Structure 1
Amino acid sequence: MDALAFLDKAAKSKRLPVYVLLGDEDFLKRHCREAILSLVLGDADHDLAVSPFAGDKLEFSTVRNELDTLPFIGPARVVVVEPADLFVSNCRESLEKYVANPSKIGVLILDVKSFPETTKLAKALPDAAKVVCKSPYANKLPAWCVGWAKAQFKKKLDGDAAEFLVELVGPQMGLLAQELEKLSVSVGDKASITAEMVDSLVGRSRAANVFHILDAVGDAKPDVALKLLSELFEEGDDPLAVMGAMTGQLRKLASVGRQTKEGLSMGVAMDGANVPKWPEARQKFEKQLRHLGRRRLDKLTDWLVEINLGLKGGSQLPNRLQVERLVVRLARPRDEPSNR
C-alpha cells in the first residue's frame, strides 16, 4: 500500500500484527510509524509501550519475547526494528512462522529499504501491512504540499506557490513540510500562502540560493552570481551538489530554447518543461532565456555534459573553478566575444 493512502485510512483501519515500512523516504516512514502507534496504543504513553531495536545483530528470540510481554501501561506491546533489512534476511524463516502465528498482544514494525514481493514472507503479509514509503514523483509533490498545508496548518497554499516551493526546496518531503510549517507561522492569520510569500519567506537553502544565482545570470551580472556562488562554497557546499541543484533549471532553459526554435510557442514550451506558472517565475525565466540568447541555449546541453564529466574526474581543474567558469560563461553579457 502506498504510504499516503495508508495515512488517509490508518485511523479507521484494523490493527495488524506485523507492519513493514519499506522505502527510503524517512519523512513518510516517521509519519506512518506514528499513525500505527496511534492506532495500536491510542492515548497510552508510547514510551512505556514501545520497544525499539537496531536490527544489525538482533536475535529473533529477543523480539519474540518482547512481543509477548505485556506493557506496564497500554493495550499492546509494539516492537520497532530499525533498520531491519539484515534482521529480515537473517531471521526470514522465523518471521515466516511468526506471521502465521503472531503474538496476540504485540505488534511488530519492520523498517526496511527493500522488501521483494517474490519472497514467502512478503506473500504471507496482506497489502495493508506493507507500506511503501517512497516520495511521490516530482510532478506530484506540489499537490501533496497543497494537501499538507490544508490538513496540518489549515492554510490554503496556492498552486503556483506549491510549484515554486518544490522548485526552491527540492523533492525532500521532510524539508518541504518544515518550510510549510515556517510559512504557516510567518503568514499569521492570513488564510492563503502565495508564491510571493514563498519567494520572500522560504529559508536559505542550496536550491533557493541557486535560483538567486540564476537570477543574477538573467540580469547579466557575473560579479553578483560569483559572489552568491562563493558564499555557498564558503558555507561548505560541495561543487557537485551545487551543480546538481543548478542543472534542473539549466535543462529547462535548454529544453524551452530548443522547442521555441522548432516553432513551439513560449507558453506551451514552458508548460512542457514544468516551469512554474506564477507570473514572476515566468518573467524571470524569460529574462534568462533572452539573456542567454540562441547561441548559448544551443550549447547549453553540451556544456552540462562537459561539466558533469569534469566534476567526476574528467578535468584537471578544481571542481569549484569548473562551476565558477560555467557561471561566468552564462552570466556574461551577450555581446562579449566568448559567448559567441
Structure 2
Amino acid sequence: MRDSCRRRIIAQIIGDADPQLCVAFFEPPVNLSQVLAELGTLPFLAPRRAVVVRNADDFVEQHREDLEKYLQKPSPTASLVLMVDKWSKVFRLSKLVAKIGEVCECSIGERENLVGRVNDLAKSRGKKIASPAAAALLENVGRDLAALDNEMEKLALYTGQRPSISIEDVQAVTTPGRQLSDWALQNAVTNSNARAALNALASSLRTRGDEFRVLGSLAAHIRRAIKGKNAALAGEDPAGVLPFNMPFQAKRDFLNLLNRRSLSKFNDDARRLIAGDLALKSGAKAPGALAELVVALCN
C-alpha cells in the first residue's frame, strides 16, 4: 500500500514525464544538503521534480527545524516526499506539511473492513463482485493488498466478458491449492524451466475454465515483471511489487529475473499473452495453446 501511495504521489508531481529524469531517491543515512540541492535543481522535460526520502524517520528527527524553514519557502519546481513509519500531528512541521502539501496514510488498521478495497479492485477492472464473493476472497487470500490485487487480476480474466464475479468464481480461482499450482507455474517460467512449466501447466488444467485461471496467473506474473522492471529502471526497489504471500525462494528468483531480462523482453511476453488469450477465445484447444505460450515465455 505504501508503494501504491508513493507511485500515486509521484505521478501527481511529474505527470507523464520519465521518472529517470526527474525523480531522485535517498536512503539512510541522508545528507540534508544533498536533498536541498536536488530540490533546487530545475526539472528536465517535466513540470516538476520529485525528491523522495525513504525510511525518513531519523532524517526528520535530525533536521526538523531545517525542514520547517524550508517549507516556509519551498522550491517552486520540486516536491519533497518523506516516507516515514510514524508521523505526529503535534509538531510545527506536520502542520506546515498539512497546509501546503498532503499526508498520505498508508497503514491498514487491523479491524479495517477490506471489502470496500476489494470492490475498488474489481471496479478498476470493469467488474462487480458480490459481497459473499468478496468475503471469500479475503478469507482465501488474507489482508495483503498486493496479493488481493494479484488474485483480482486472475478473476477478471477468468470471468471474461461477464460483468460480475461470483463466489463460485472465487472458489475456482483462489483456493489455497490453486494458489500453490499457480506459484509452481510462475516459478517455472521465472526460472526459464520449460519442462517444469509444462508439468505445472498439466496439473493446473483439471476442469473446464481452468485455462482462463492459468492465463490470469501468467498475466499477473508478466504485469508484476513489467512493474518491477520499471521500478528498478526508475531507481526504486522492485521488491515493492511482490505480494506478501509469495514464497521466499520465488521472490529471490523473481528479482534475479528482473536483473537478467530487459524491459523490451517483458513487453514481448505481454504481446505473447495477448495472442494466447485471443487464440483461446477464438476456439483453440487450451492445452496446446497454453503449452505454446509457456514454452515461449521460458525462452
TM superposition score category, shorter chain reference: 0.5 to 0.7
Verify: 1:144 aligned to 2:117, yes or no.
yes
Gapped runs of 5+ residues in structure 1? 1-26, 209-234, 237-340
SS of equivalent residue, structure 1 residue 154: coil
Aligned with residue 107 of structure 2, among 126, 129, 134: 134
Give 1:114 shift. 0.4
Task: Identify the residue that residue 319 of structure 1 maps to in structure 2.
Answer: none
Task: Identify the residue that residue 328 of structure 1 maps to in structure 2.
Answer: none
Task: Identify the residue that residue 107 of structure 1 maps to in structure 2.
Answer: 79
Give 1:50 shift. 0.4
Matches within 5 A, 1:1-340: 27=1, 29-54=2-27, 56-126=28-98, 129-136=102-109, 138=111, 140-150=113-123, 152-202=124-174, 204=176
Q: TM-score, normalised by structure 1?
A: 0.50
Task: Identify the residue that residue 193 of structure 2 maps to in structure 1.
Answer: none
SS of equivalent residue, structure 2 residue 81: strand
> Is the contact between residue 158 and residue 195 of structure 1 (CA under 8 Å) also seen in structure 2?
yes
> Is the contact between residue 169 and residue 205 of structure 1 (CA under 8 Å) also seen in structure 2?
no
Give me the whole-angstrom Cα distance separating, in 2, the residues matched to 1:86 and 1:145.
35
In structure 2, relative to structure 1, the CA distance for the partners of 1:45 and 1:167 (3 Å cut) is: same
> Is the contact between residue 140 and residue 176 of structure 2 (CA under 8 Å) also seen in structure 1?
no
Give me the whole-angstrom Cα distance separating, in 2, the residues matched to 1:33 and 1:43.
15
> Is the contact between residue 25 and residue 54 of structure 2 (CA under 8 Å) also seen in structure 1?
yes
Give me the whole-angstrom Cα distance separating, in 2, the residues matched to 1:171 and 1:198.
16
Q: Between the two proteins, what is the percent identity of the paired residues?
A: 35
Tell me the amino acid that sits aligned with residue 45 of structure 1.
D
Give me the whole-angstrom Cα distance separating, in 1, the residues matched to 2:29 and 2:52.
14
In structure 2, relative to structure 1, the CA distance for the partners of 1:130 and 1:188 (3 Å cut) is: same
Gapped runs of 5+ residues in structure 2? 181-246, 249-299
Give me the whole-angstrom Cα distance separating, in 1, the residues matched to 2:167 and 2:36.
52
Give me the whole-angstrom Cα distance separating, in 2, the residues matched to 1:51 and 1:164.
41
Structure with higher Rg: it is 1
SS of equivalent residue, structure 2 residue 138: helix
Tell me the amino acid that sits aligned with residue 100 of structure 1.
Q
SS of equivalent residue, structure 2 residue 83: strand
The total of aligned residue pairs comes to: 183
Give me the whole-angstrom Cα distance separating, in 2, the residues matched to 1:100 and 1:191.
50
In structure 2, relative to structure 1, the CA distance for the partners of 1:139 and 1:120 (3 Å cut) is: closer
> Is the contact between residue 40 and residue 76 of structure 1 (CA under 8 Å) also seen in structure 2?
yes
Give 1:38 shift. 2.2
In structure 2, relative to structure 1, the CA distance for the partners of 1:139 and 1:167 (3 Å cut) is: farther
Give me the whole-angstrom Cα distance separating, in 2, the residues matched to 1:133 and 1:201.
28
SS of equivalent residue, structure 2 residue 104: strand
Tell me the amino acid that sits aligned with residue 117 of structure 1.
K
SS of equivalent residue, structure 1 residue 131: coil
Task: Please identify runs of 4+ aligned residues in structure 1 that moved more than 3 A.
Answer: 136-139, 203-208
Give 1:123 shift. 2.2
Q: TM-score, normalised by structure 2?
A: 0.56
Question: Residues 35-60 of structure 1, C-alpha deviation per residue, up to 9 Å, x if partnerless?
Answer: 22222222211221101111x21111
> Is the contact between residue 167 and residue 207 of structure 1 (CA under 8 Å) also seen in structure 2?
no
Give me the whole-angstrom Cα distance separating, in 2, the residues matched to 1:78 and 1:103.
11
Give the stretch that moved more between structures: 199-208 or 84-93: 199-208
Give 1:86 shift. 1.4
